[in-house]
Structure 1
Amino acid sequence: MINQPLPHPDHGAALASAPSTPGRRAPLLPLAARRSQPTVSSEAGALPPKEERDPAPAPYRDTVLLPRTRFPAQLPGRLQPQAELETQQKCGFSELYSWQRQRKTKKEFCLHDGPPYANGDPHVGHALNKILKDITNRFHMMRGYKVHYVPGWDCHGLPVEMKALSELQAQDLSAMEIRQKARKFAERAIEKQKSAFIRWGIMADWTNCYYTFDGKYEAKQLSVFQKMYEKGYIYQDYKPVFWSPSANTALAEAELEYNEQHISRSVYIKFPLLKSPPKLASVMDGLSKISLLVWTTQPWTVPANQAVCYMPNSEYSVVKCTNTSECYILAADRVESLAAILDMQFEVISTFKGIDLESGSCAHPTIPGKDSPLLPADHVTMAKGTGLVHTAPAHGMEDYSVAAHHQLPMDCLVDEGGFFTEAAGSELQNKAVLEEGNEAVIQMLQAAKSLLKEERYVHSYPYDWRTKKPVIIRASKQWFVNTANIKATTQEVLKKVKFVPASGQKRMLEMLDRRTFWCISRQRCWGVPIPVFYHKTTGESLINSQTIGNIIRIVEQQGSDAWWTLPVEQLLPREAVAKVGNHDALDYVKGQDVLDIWFDSGTSWARVLEDQQADLYLEGKDQLGGWFQSSVLTSVATRKKAPYKTLMIHGFTLGEKGEKMSKSIGNVVDPDVVINGGQDHSKEPPYGADVLRWWVAESNVFNEVLIGPAVLNAARNDINKLRNTLRFLLGNVAGFSPETDSVPASEMYVIDQYMLHLLQDYSNKVTEAYKEYDYSRVIRLLQAFHTRDLSNFYFSIIKDRLYCEEEKGLKRRSCQTVLAEVLDAVVRSVAPVLPHLAEEVFQHFPYKTELESVFRTGWINTSSVWKKPGLEEAVEGACAIRDSFLGSISGKNALEHEVVVVIEPGLFFELMEALQPEESSSISQLNEIMMASKTTLLTKLPKELASEEKIIEGNFLINLEGGDIREESSYKVIVQPAAGAKCPRCRRYTSDSALTVCPRCMEVIAQNGKNIM
């Protein structure tokens, strides 16, 4: 069906409708202006306009049953935040988690909370993540599950350490001083974030969270480290790793972000051929000044060159420059493009396979007397460059592999700060490799006449995600996890994990496939120490099960501070020292490295879940290479299973135009300002937490999630429309008790049965959407149901029955039974998303005896008897006829007309006859659906039909028994002016005189014993 802008059902509007598609309900618009808004007490806000408060002349006003409720249509924005806080207090938000944990049920749902960094204020990314988790938890709790959810914080590492140190002017702080400052900073950040999460309505036991700086947590982490070390997964080695000069520490790949606009100074360099490859001796004979042509984007690595690599199966050429007569060796596929780049003319002398370069060597371009062998390698690419790769084993992962295979030196000429060391020579010593060091190397190449060309090269380059500065690759002695040995099992385990969305599985498997090792040591002091000791003289490491076990016991009791505060003889057991020879504990020093915070947080399952497997991990897409991965690697390594059954992956938050949030642009959205408003409420109004939660739920969270003023305004408007629908429901079940006044479905009006049929369909679909974590579909289903099916369709039809029929009669009670069921289902279905609104509505239920939380009363409860064969066809057939009628009087009041419906005898006529057994009626179920003053149902056109009367024709397809019964029937509609006078009570044209009420109203008034004289 087509969705149009929808007025509230209480707002009067002239009826209009487009022609319908045969067989289906068309867009349904509200009933003509003849009913008032629900009456409210003065506490509920402004009253409706006077003309709407007077639906009938004074003598009959008290006989009309207008809605009654204290539930306000909407709250002024300035009152919204305080109202939510009062709801949280009144409805026991803070006790809900502990209450549900005490329930006696075997069903449990475990969502393991990925720890946010304790290094700053809460932001919209936190809101997106925590609210998604809370919606999930509240749904499962209402479904009868005992929810296990322990919030946590990632407290260690450089993000916290940098923030803590940025507040201090002091230099040369001791490790313990830094740790103390960092801990205090983390604790302050945790309290800020925790307060915000509670304000957003996040259900949890906030007195029992987990923190990675807690001693018991640290001990569990070291226990995982111990198991992995004992199984041979953890080792120490000297190899190139990503290194952050700006932070003075090694980094894991997950700690990088790539700058797509990084500019490097790329160079084309000559490596003069020293020794001709034997297979090419005849080709080289007689040629002078032969050089290998090499391209690199990192000139500063050239001093560390140990070889030049080629691709064995690719073709290479010897070319002669016609300008200079010099000869060059380069990839055959790159000859033409390089001639253009270097502005040279190349003549191809000979072409050969790369393998023919075997056993050749060339001169180092900056170090006289040093030669570099020519070596085969599979990582050489022909897509760019020259097809020949400068190889510096200390500064490249592939270079390291080549060096290890051919036993080349792996000397690193760069220190922890990113400066050339003394070993690089006096010209380079103490120069920053990414700045003046790079320039110095280029000048050295130029002086040696080895530089052919330098140019700016824009490309993707890794940056430290914390300092936002470029990293380098640098060889150093580090501790690693050998992921290559765990990878195959981990990939098999991940294939059994459910990914939401499913595409996340492929991405994570690909990321894992590229990972051969994981550097887990960091050169910082705010973290969990790697429990290793080094001999003072030999530098040999001492680490075994006994030494680690002793550290675990100490850390569990005293926390990881003990590594820095206790003397080595207390940390290192005498028995462990004795096992490695005639040594004393005092011969050793404590290692200074701490564990990577991905190892820190990736072992959270060991503390929070222990041997349990979480039903769900739910984090942003960056965690596919981060926490999701470190968690599964540590879990598989120690217990051969994933810590989770399902992974849900959401996108990042962006401005509403799709741009990144930036203070300079001024598009940063602060959740606190969203809830409480900014300094100027006209520009930054207070929306309350439910608007924030609606924004999360309605967004397609599997992509990037947009937020801004327009998005938030739209969310507030959507909630206000829902409030009005709920207010209408509340007002019209006043005086109704579901326990004593409900009407069995079999005795209901057909349109009421039909609404129960739609309600069950809605309830089933919304439940499935929640189960699939598809919360935007939940919102779409809710909006379609409450605007299209309720406000635009059902409410417009039933108002006459609600307001003008006998208060306790079957007709009105039938309708109220449905409204009570709808109210209950809608409130429960929206409760996980809008807990404050749901609780507020629940407290206004007129028939509740105890004001308990909606969250303590379970999920939607529907009945299978609400599904009836033929019911849908009967109502939708009537609606098709109605749409033909309404389409013919566009913009006019339907009550001013009578309708004649002509259907030939058959199944369709029988369906309509069930709605109106008599030939003509103003009170039949068919007439109620038509919304006219009177409906006549015939099998053939009347003989007295006036020639000027227009006949509207239409068709309706009946489809029953799964398609076994299919019958297309035609119908004719004749629209005539109403013959009666306007009833002063119900406003239908069914009265004998404008001064007297219609027969129906007279009977109702008499039954109620009202004296209107």
Structure 2
Amino acid sequence: MLLCRVSAASHALARWGGRSHRAGGLLRRAIPFSSSRCCAVDSGEGGSAKGQYRDTVLLPRTDFPMKLTGQKLLDRELEIQQECGFANLYSWQRERKAKKEFCLHDGPPYANGDPHVGHALNKILKDIRNRFEMLRGRQVHYVPGWDCHGLPIELKALGELGRSGLSPLQIRQKAREYAEGAIARQKAAFQRWGVMADWDQCYYTYDGAYEAAQLKVFKIMHSKGLIYQDYKPIFWSPSSGTALAEAELEYNPEHVSRAIYSTFPLITLPPKVVTERGKLSTVSVLVWTTQPWTIPANQAICYMPNAQYSIVKRADNSQLLLVAMERTASVAAMLGTELESVGTFTGSQLEGGVCKHPTIPDKEVPLLPANHVTMAKGTGLVHTAPAHGMDDYSVASHFKLPVECIVDEDGKFTEAAGPELHNLSVMKEGTDKVISMLKESGALVKEEQCIHSYPYDWRTKLPVIIRPSKQWFINTASLKDKAKEALQNVRVLPESAKGNLLAMLDRRTYWCISRQRSWGVPIPVFYHRDTGEPLVNKHTVSHIAELFREKGSDCWWELPIETLLPPEVLQKAGPVTDYVRGEDVLDIWFDSGASWAAVLEGTSEADAYVEGKDQIGGWFQSSLLTSVAVRKKAPYKSLLVHGFAISERGEKMSKSLGNVVDPDTVINGEKDSGLPPYGADVLRWWVAESNIFSEVQIGPTALNSAKDSISKLRNTLKFMLGNLHGFDPLTQAVDPKEMHYIDQYMLHLLREYSMKVTDAYSEFDAGRVIRVLQAFITRDLSSFYFSIIKDRILWAEDHVKLVDVSTGWIKSSSVWRRPGLEEAVEGACAIRDAFLSSIPGKNAAQYNLTIAIEPSLLFELMESLQEEPSSTSSQLAELMMAARVNLTSQLPRDLPSDALLNHGTFLINLEGGVIREDSTYDIAVVPSSAARCPRCRRYTAEAADCLCPRCQTVVSQAGHAP
């Protein structure tokens, strides 16, 4: 059986050409050694041995510098960008023939400021993937864009001027100029970072063609009944003077509210409560709210139908209060008194109860059932103001309650709120006054501070309110199921982000898309002067879209209405003087969310959308909803959600904390702070090696680490380039089957490496690529391969070529993984480890090694590396790095007394486990008796000052006199 296994191994080795007589290097066949002859070395005035044989040694030669610093680094980076045609790379790859296209749709950064490290993280991450796809031979579709409309740009453009006295067209002109300046600065930075794109063909949301495509989406959605006008509560920003969508909010978890407990006296007891408990004296419903200013707008008090409620009596003043039984203990603690239950019943028994409003005389409010009531806080009875709460509005819609707005666009009480409240800011003095009114009426039970999460305007960083307004909405409730179904076919990285996206879709029943500003795409609607009825249909929107395409959206204000309305519509609508054009613009999330329609023409879906985690509720969602509404499918095949750039202390970057890292400073340095110029490569490396699925830290530590990593890589590349000097792949490359086993083994390792990095790049995990690269360079190349073959490439005039790479990505071959190759080299390495452990800290080249293996599969494998019993130049000797290797079936009995002995085992697994053997080996190590060769420095010469046989052959054939 043993002989069968050996034969099988030999047959496997023979199949991949593993014969030890093919002992040439990677580039040319080995030169046969001549008979050994000794020659004296000239050590006189003619020069040293080193000088005499300098011309016979392949010293590394390359102009590649190991490192560049300061201005030289910056100059060289710019030279490379210029000489290598970075500006033309994108157009070049678009023109070449390719079987497949890779489309990464660029989420538009906002054109309202200078480039920052968040931009760098996002743009470089995208560029890494695009370049990978380009190297794989795919045609990359990547069109950079900018989100150009919206309030922040408008505010910054107007500055201290404000809007007073300026026409919409004047405001728009200033905003456009500001946006164009920001775009120019950001674009220049993106180009400096080496981002591959056609920078002359970007998309901008203020372009007429883009706006026309956006209106086409609006038209289709409106024709399907998905866009409608309604009067309902929306998030309103008094500081911005406009409606906001959920995606434009930031929730401040440390917001402080003046929460109150207030009573609403029951003037009509619920009939079922009276029947069961008999006649009760005065009972008051106890409610809790964090927004006291909404009390004047109260229209009802809601209860949970299935919950248990109690009428309790205060021990300190005998007052009767109605509260949820589950909340009784916490209410008692809040009041600082005991509460005695005098009656308990279910919520459904509260039907028919009516309360007196605490601040408005003669106003009555009913008790109503509602499913949104919870027992997490408060009293289990919820104050309901339909004008100022989403759930409250739902109750009002069901029970036909009035929805009266008593707060204006500036966040102040209107005249309808009464003379005491009129013109007071609801979040400030208005709250003070309402609490005072409750106290005067005897309804205030307690006031307390409540720290809780509260929505803020993400631009002004100030609190928002909820107030009803006539706005335009998208009915996302009817789109949710289709959107969730479309997401099932989308790959999301990380997977947890999909859950967040689905959860946000669930919470979103409608999307307010109208904004009360000038800088944006006008909502293409006309209103009847007298009735206020909107005039909008597919004919009007199509006509306006074409005007926008031709003239840009400024024409909405420039052209007369009779030009904006198509003739066929005017014939049916009546006199043009009966209509006025609308003044609202579209939400910028609708602007950017429709980018697929403007940019991906001819492309069914983008292969990837890549943005930060804030876009889960923003661009990812608005793009999905608009695409599903129009095309019934998602606009992307995959989503990558990355984290934010933060300081090295884990803090969010802010100017007030002084921890903002400017990418321009990273590249060019800063004299005042002492930061050196790192260059664009360090910035890109920082992005590449980061774990982009979490928050990404940046600072001196991270940047210095990136710089050191690049230096180590450059050192390896310098070594490789130096040893490849003069190499001609057309005439000097050889077939892998002709290579030494260790060279073939490196191709095997390189194939594994290429598969790992290809998989990592495909997963947008450049950090894993960096780790695999560094491990390959450190472990497989520097510590292993280069140390073993250094003698061959330096002294024996054999170059080394790791892989035949044509233009493009690594072309690894399955034939590089050959049966028996891995076991032969790794078996030799196991023996080498035993050898080196026997001489710790000593030079292996000074020792002779005897390897004894009984007839076995392992012996056959080692014999394939050295056919002769003893050799100084076999592949096995090269792997061992010893002066001489003797391969035998048993150790000789006449070993010298100073011989070092060791033994070990090696498990061989071939043919998928069909051939499996655990072989043993013994080794003996003795100092070499040979002299050190003055040329190759190996201990293989017959005498001092003599060349070894190998060097004699090389020198004589190179035409040098010995």
Instruction: Give the TM-score normalised by the residue count of structure 1.
Output: 0.88
Residue 621 of structure 1 pairs with residue 613 of structure 2: yes
1:89-104 to structure 2, matched below 5 A, reads: 89-104=82-97
Matched, 1:817 2:801: yes
* Count of aligned pairs: 915
Residue 332 in structure 1 maps to residue 282 in structure 2: no
- Pick the aligned partner of 1:918 from 863, 868, 884: 868
Q: Is the 8 A contact 2:311 2:341 kept in 1?
A: yes
* Map 1:840-851 → 2, pairs under 5 A: none
> Is the deviation greater in 735-744 or in 286-295?
286-295
For residues 55 and 704 of structure 2, the distance between their equivalents in structure 1, rounded to whole angstroms, comes to 39
State the secondary structure of the residue aligned to 1:980. Answer: coil
Q: Contact 1:55–1:985 at 8 Å: present in 2 too?
A: no
Contact 2:490 2:636 (8 Å CA) reproduced? yes
Displacement of 1:285 in angstroms is 4.0
- Identify if the C-alpha distance between structure 1 residues 792 and 56 changes in structure 2 by more than 3 Å, giving closer, same or farther: farther
Alpha-carbon distance in 2 for matches of 1:455, 1:962: 73
- Given candidates 717, 730, 736, the residue that maps to 2:721 is 730
Structure 1 residue runs of 5 or longer lacking an equivalent are 1-53, 826-856
Distance 2:918 2:236 in 1: 75
- Aligned partner letter, 1:210: Y
2:53 partner SS:
helix
Shift of 1:142: 1.7
Deviation at 1:362?
Answer: 1.0
Cα drift, residue 203 of structure 1: 1.0
Which residue in 1 is equivalent to 2:934? 984
Residue 62 of structure 1: SS of its match in structure 2?
A: helix
For residues 498 and 791 of structure 1, what CA distance do their matches in structure 2 show? 38
Deviations 1:48-101 (A, max 9, x none): xxxxxx996332333221111111111123322211111111111111111111
- For residues 55 and 937 of structure 1, do their structure 2 counterparts lie closer, same or farther at Cα, with a shift above 3 Å needed? farther
1:186 and 2:186 correspond: no
Q: For 1:544 and 1:60, how far apart are their aligned partners in 2? A: 90
Q: 1:586 to 1:884 in 2, by over 3 A?
A: same
Q: Of 681, 685, 702, which residue of structure 1 is paired with 2:693?
A: 702
What SS does the aligned partner of 2:598 have?
A: helix
AA in 2 matched with 1:533: F
Match of 2:921 among 958, 971, 975: 971
Measured after TM superposition, the shift of residue 121 of structure 1 is: 0.4
Q: 1:351 aligns with which of 335, 344, 350?
A: 344
1:145 to 117, 129, 138: 138
Matched residue, 1:649 = 641
- Larger mean CA deviation between 601-610 and 520-529 belongs to 601-610
8 Å contact 1:287–1:327 — kept in the other structure?
Answer: no
1:766 matched to which residue of 2? 757
Question: 1:446-491 CA distances to partner (integer Å, 9 max, x unpaired)?
Answer: 1111111111111111111111111111111100001111222121
| Equivalent residue number for residue 774 of structure 2 | 783
Matched, 1:690 2:712: no
Matched residues in 2 for 1:665 and 1:894: separation? 57
Match of 2:23 in 1: none
The question of 1:584 aligning with 2:534 is answered: no
Q: Which amino acid aligns with 2:801?
A: T
CA contact (8 A) 1:428 1:437 kept: yes
User: What are the within-5 Å matches in structure 2 for residues 543-554 of structure 1?
Assistant: 543-554=536-547
Q: CA deviation at 1:154?
A: 0.4
**Aligned pair in 2 of structure 1 residues 461, 170: CA closer, same or farther (>3 Å)?**
closer
Alignment of 1:887-966 (within 5 A): 887-946=837-896, 949-966=899-916
Aligned to 1:880: 830
Compare 551-560 and 891-900 and name the one that shifted more. Answer: 891-900
User: Which one of 797, 808, 814 corresponds to residue 788 of structure 2?
Assistant: 797
* Deviation at residue 369 of structure 1 after TM alignment: 1.3
Q: Secondary structure at the match of 2:450?
A: strand
Mapped contact 1:319–1:347 kept (Cα < 8 A)? yes
- In structure 1, the residue corresponding to 2:503 is in which secondary structure? helix
1:244 paired residue number: 237
Larger mean Cα displacement after TM superposition, 919-928 or 794-803: 919-928
- For residue 84 of structure 1, give the secondary structure of its aligned residue in structure 2: helix
For 1:503-550, what per-residue CA distance to the aligned partner results, in whole angstroms no more than 9, with x for missing partners? 222221221121110000001110011111222222222222232222
Identical pairs, percent: 63
Task: Tell me the alpha carbon deviations over residues 857-902 of structure 1, each in whole angstroms, 9 at most, x when there is no partner.
Answer: 3222233322211111111111111112222332222223222222
Q: CA–CA distance in 2 between the matches of 1:548 and 1:144? A: 42
Q: Could you tell which deviates more after superposition, 783-792 or 984-993? A: 984-993
Shift of 1:437: 1.0
Question: What is the identity, as a one-letter code, of the residue corresponding to 1:455?
Answer: E
**Cα contact 2:305–2:347 (8 A) shared by 1:** yes
Q: Which amino acid aligns with 1:550?
A: H
Q: CA deviation at 1:494?
A: 1.4
In 2, Cα distance between the equivalents of 1:306 and 1:863? 76
Whether 2:450 is the aligned partner of 1:453: answer no
Tell me by how many angstroms 1:948 deviates: 5.5
The answer to whether residue 494 in structure 2 is matched with residue 501 in structure 1 is: yes
Q: Distance in 1 between matches of 2:160 and 2:642?
A: 33
Structure 1 residue 169: Cα displacement: 6.8
Aligned partner letter, 1:730: L
Paired letter, 1:696: V
State the alpha-carbon separation in 1 of the partners of residues 653 and 462 from structure 2. Answer: 19
Aligned letter for 1:314?
A
1:11 is aligned to: none
Alpha-carbon distance in structure 2 between the residues aligned to 1:56 and 1:881: 35
TM score, norm. by length of structure 2: 0.93
1:668 match: 660
1:862 paired residue number? 812
The answer on whether the counterparts of 1:56 and 1:986 sit within 8 Å (CA) in structure 2 is no
Take 1:577 and 1:301, find their aligned partners in 2: how far apart are those partners? 44
Q: Give the Å deviation of 1:763.
A: 1.5
Q: Which runs of 5+ in 2 are unaligned?
A: 1-46
Secondary structure (helix, strand or coil) at the match of 2:801 reads: helix
Query: In the alignment, what sits opposite 2:32?
Result: none
Q: Could you tell me how far apart the structure 2 residues matched to 1:167 and 1:60 are? A: 79
SS in structure 2 at match of 1:135: helix
Decide which of 72, 79, 82 is 1:86's aligned counterpart: 79
Residue 667 of structure 2 aligns to a residue in which SS? helix
What letter corresponds to residue 513 of structure 2 in structure 1? I
Distance 1:863 1:124 in 2: 40
Q: In 2, are the aligned partners of 1:55 and 1:61 still within 8 Å (CA)?
A: no
Whole-angstrom CA distance in 2 between matches of 1:634 and 1:437: 40
Counterpart position of 2:650: 658
Residues 1:309 and 1:56: Cα distance change in structure 2 (over 3 Å): farther
Corresponding residue of 2:405: 412
Shift of 1:380: 0.4
CA RMSD of aligned residues (A): 1.8
User: Is this contact kept in 2: 1:623–1:629, CA < 8 A?
Assistant: yes
* Residue identity in the other structure for 1:561: D
CA contact (8 A) 2:62 2:725 kept: yes
Report Cα offsets for 1:666-720 as digits up to 9, x if no partner. 2211111111111247x31111111111111111111111111111111111111
Q: Which amino acid aligns with 2:637?
A: K
CA distance in 2, matches of 1:901, 1:666: 65
1:473 aligns with 2:443: no
Q: Is the 8 A contact 2:891 2:923 kept in 1?
A: no
Q: Is the 8 A contact 1:299 1:438 kept in 2?
A: yes
Residue equivalent to 2:3: none
Matched, 1:604 2:595: yes
Deviates more, 1:284-293 or 1:548-557: 284-293
Q: Which residue of 2 aligns with 1:844?
A: none
Q: Contact between 2:522 and 2:586, CA under 8 Å: does it hold in 1?
A: yes
| Post-superposition CA distance 1:643-663 (Å, at most 9, x none) | 112212111111123211122
**1:138-158 superposed Cα distances (whole Å, 9 cap, x missing partner):** 111222222111111100011
Amino acid at match of 2:779: R
Q: State the AA in 2 paired with 1:800.
A: D
* Paired amino acid for 1:394: A
Contact 1:319 1:329 (8 Å CA) reproduced:
yes
- Residue 753 of structure 1 is matched in structure 2 by 744
Q: What residue identity is the alignment partner of 2:561?
A: V
Q: Distance in 2 between matches of 1:452 and 1:323?
A: 13
SS in 1 for 2:836: helix
Describe how 1:505-516 pairs up with structure 2 within 5 A: 505-516=498-509
The equivalent of 2:14 in structure 1 is none
- The within-5 A match list for 1:155-194 is 155-166=148-159, 168=161, 171-194=164-187
Q: Corresponding residue for 2:549?
A: 556
